[in-house]
Amino acid sequence: MDIPLDLARTLATVIDAGTFDAAARELAITPSAVSQRLKALETRLGRVLVVRSRPVQPTEAGAAVVRLARQLALLEHDALAALDLDASDAGRRVRIPLAVNADSLATWILPPLARLAAEHPIVFDLHRDDQAFTAGLLESGTVMAAVTSQAEPVAGCVVRPLGVLRYRAVATPEYVARRLPDGPAPEAFATAPVVYFDRRDDLQSDYLEQVGADPAAPPRHYVPASNDFATAVKLGLGWGLLPASQSQAELDRGELVLLGGPPIDVPHHWQQWNLRSPLLDAIADEIVAEAQSHLLQHPAPRAR
C-alpha cells in the first residue's frame, strides 16, 4: 500500500494550520475538500489520523504520516537545489519545525535562524520547551531537530554538542540587604522568595541543594518567559539563576550581585533527523557555529 503524497501534504498542512478552514486557505481549496482528502486518506490507511479539536491534533498514526510529509518536503527542496531550481519561485517554502528551550530563544539562537531564512526558501516553526524535554518532540515526530540537554541520540536522529550554558545565582543589592542580610546561608534561603520559570524548572532547586538549603522551603514566584523571568529578578521580585548574557551588564553596573555558590552548567546538544539532507545539515552547521561563539565549550559539562 502506498500513501498518496498530496494527501499526506494535506494532513501536514492541517496540523500546521491548526484548523480545516486555515488549511483550506493555505491550499486554496474549500474546507469541504480538505475534509474529503483527510477522509480518503483515513479510509485508505484504515486509521484515524486527526483529533478534530481546536487546534487539530494528529493521532499517533497521523503523526507518522505528517513526519513522512515533512521528510518529503525536505528531500524535494534538496532535489530542486541539486537541479539549480528554486522552490521559492513556485511560492513553496519548506516548513522546518524546531524545538528550542526558552533561554536559547532569548539569548543566541534567533540570529542564525534569521540568516538561514534569508538564504533559503524556508519558514521556521519553533516549539518552546525546557531543554530536558525537547527531545520528546523529536521522538513524536513533531519537530525535525531540537536543542536539548540529552546527549544520547533519539532513535532515528544524530546528535552534535553545542556547548554549555552557565547559570549564576543573582539578585538586586536591595533584595540581598532585605532578604539575605547575613549572606546566602542555607537557613536564610528558607524565607527568601525565589523566581522559577515554571513547575518543571529545576535550576533553582539544583542550586539550593548544592548550597545545603531545602529546595521546597522558599516562597516561589513563577514567571514563564525568559526575558520576563530576567526582568523579575532585576526588579527584585526574588533571586534566580540567569545566564551571563542576561545579567553581566547589570552585574557590571552594580544593579545585580552574585549570591555566590557554584554555577549551574547545563549542556546543550543539537539533535536532528538522520536524513541525508543538505538543507538540514546547513541549518545544523549554522546553529553549531553560533553556539560555539555564545556557549562555553566545556570539556566535561556537569549534568543537571
pTM of the model: 0.80
Mean pLDDT calculated for residue range 203-217 = 96
Q: Residue 89: pLDDT band by 50, 70, 90 thresholds?
A: low
Q: Residue 270: pLDDT band by 50, 70, 90 thresholds?
A: very high
- Cα(75)–Cα(94) distance, rounded to whole angstroms? 10
- Cα(98)–Cα(126) distance, rounded to whole angstroms? 5
47 three-state secondary structure: coil
pLDDT at residue 302, rounded to an integer = 45
Q: 20 and 13 in contact (C-beta within 8 Å)?
A: no
pLDDT at residue 52, rounded to an integer = 87
> In 3D, which of 133, 112, 136 has the Cα closest to residue 124?
112
Query: 234 is written with which cell numbers?
Result: 532585576
Q: Residue 72: pLDDT band by 50, 70, 90 thresholds?
A: confident
pLDDT at residue 159, rounded to an integer = 96
pLDDT at residue 248, rounded to an integer = 95
pLDDT at residue 91, rounded to an integer = 57
Torsion of CA 172, 176, 177, 178, to 10 degrees: 100
One DSSP character per residue, 176-198 reads: HHHH-TT-S-HHHHTTS-EEESS
pLDDT at residue 81, rounded to an integer = 79
